[in-house]
Amino acid sequence: MEKWVGRMLSSGNLYSANIRLFPIAPFGPGGLPDNVDNLLITWQSTNTYNAGLDLTTWNKRLEFSFDAYKKVTSDMLLATQLGAYSGLGTAWNDIKTPTTNDGRMTNTGFDIGLTSYNIQNNNFTWKTNIIFSKYKNILNRMNEPNATLPGTFDEYGTKSLVTLSQQGRPLGAFYGYVTDGLFRSQAELNNGIDYGLSIAPGSLWLGDVRFKDLNGDKVVDDKDVTVIGDPNPDFTYGFTNTFSYKGIDLSIFIYGSQGGDIFNYSRRQTEALSSPYNNQLTTVLNRYSANNPNGDLPRYNQWHNNNNRISDRYIEDGSYLRIQNVALGYNLPKSLISKIKVSNARFYVSVQNLYTFTNYSGYDPELGALNNNIRFMNIDNGHYPVPRTFTLGTNIEF
């Protein structure tokens, strides 16, 4: 139910001024202004343009389709960018700035489909279907050239900036520090760059992660964060082969994705190496130590959290090829089933998610959006993997 207080609503929307109600406060129930209204805003608009081509050749043995598209989203609903002088902001405890219609985002791409009837005779048929897709996402314009849409991940009350959407870049690009290996010598520690910590075994020391000074000011700080990955794949594809021999049929479907990055957030806990009481992956056995100076992972470090900064240390290639479905079936001969007044009887066995070829270290490279948030694409925080499913069944028609 909406509760009006002047021009203020206690139920949230973007066009009116809202209030936040508190049932318990030092002087009893009360409320605070939540945002500044803007009664002129409208719905954002989307225009989609398509062009396609379908061809059939070689006596209908080869079918080809091509579809190109462009989707333009304009008048996006964005928070007004105002300076601190206004007393307004976008944080959870701020009085929010007005929402305005501004911003533009473009998705362009194409899909190619190819179907081939390779063999067709009375006893044996073989059909192949291939699909190839490619798209590109760009956030063309925001209400200010330097405006951003931060993707801040809340981990038990600790907020970490993982993605940052900026004008001229893809939505949800990973954002963080760039690593430069580990400190493995005293000379590397004393390289003249200020990392914000003193040089000592209980502070910055051998085996800690070394970050790049991107702007060259001899200080590694938040001015050295940059785009470290893109969750969008270069292209996706699918491949289906269907065979039939007399009463036996076999179908094999594989698909894949190439080039998309994954931020393996779960490794921030399982490879943290900051507490002897936390479960860790077996990969930490190859950490840096006095006995293993060539270890791949940083040393055990309970003194500071620099080694676990949001960085390209957790960026992995999310490319994969998956055998998604294999189905084998058998249709009983008509001469046999007609005796029991059955028109068709088919027995089949199938398996879903048979095997995935990937170099990704997590359970499943096919992630989607974390918490259904488009700014958190391909972030793995313990994503439950797709199960492998075996099915045995029959289809009987009378």
Q: Which residues fall within 8 angstroms of residue 6, CB to CB, at 6 or more apart?
A: none
Q: Which of 139, 194, 196 is nearest to 375 (CA)?
A: 139
Please give the single-letter amino acid code of residue 246: K
pLDDT-derived band at 12, boundaries 50, 70, 90: low
The pLDDT of 196-203, averaged and rounded, is 95
Spatial separation of the C-alpha atoms in residues 147 and 160, rounded to whole Å: 19
52's enclosing H/E stretch is strand 45-57
Q: Which of 153, 392, 128, 134 is nearest to 268 (CA)?
A: 153
Provide the CA 366 distance to its chain's centre, in angstroms: 8
Three-state SS for 367? coil
47 pLDDT exceeds 70?
yes
pLDDT digits (tens, 9 = 90+) for 125-183: 999 999 999 999 999 998 888 888 899 988 877 889 999 999 999 999 999 999 999 99
Provide the CA 232 distance to its chain's centre, in angstroms: 8
Residue 239 contacts residue 130 (beta carbons within 8 Å): yes
5 pLDDT exceeds 60?
no
Average model confidence (pLDDT) across the chain = 91
Can you give the pLDDT at residue 7? Answer: 41
Please give the single-letter amino acid code of residue 105: M
Can you give the pLDDT at residue 146? Answer: 86
Query: What is the value of pTM for the model shown?
Result: 0.88
380's enclosing H/E stretch is none
Higher pLDDT, 151 or 342: 151
- Cβ neighbours around 36 below 10 Å, total: 16
Q: Which residues fall within 8 angstroms of residue 160, CB to CB, at 6 or more apart?
A: 152, 153, 310
The pLDDT of 63-71, averaged and rounded, is 97
DSSP 334: H
Which value, in Å, is the radius of gyration of the alpha carbons in the chain?
A: 28
11 pLDDT exceeds 90?
no
- Cβ neighbours around 166 below 10 Å, total: 18
Can you give the pLDDT at residue 255? Answer: 97
The sign of the dihedral angle between the CA atoms of 198, 202, 203, 208 is: positive
348 pLDDT exceeds 50?
yes
Spatial separation of the C-alpha atoms in residues 45 and 249, rounded to whole Å: 47
pLDDT digits (tens, 9 = 90+) for 90-101: 777 788 888 889
Helix spans in 148-226 (H): 186-189
Instruction: Spell out a b/e string for 42-62, using b for 16 or more CB atoms within 10 Å of the CB, else e.
Output: eebeeeeeeeeeeeeeeeeee
pLDDT-derived band at 8, boundaries 50, 70, 90: very low
208: left (phi over 0), alpha (psi -120 to 50) or beta: beta
Strands 99-101 and 77-79: antiparallel
The pLDDT of 58-78, averaged and rounded, is 94
Can you give the pLDDT at residue 128? Answer: 97
334 pLDDT exceeds 60?
yes
> What's the Cα-to-Cα distance from 359 to each of 260, 321, 325, 367, rounded to whole Å?
12, 10, 21, 15
Can you give the pLDDT at residue 153? Answer: 85
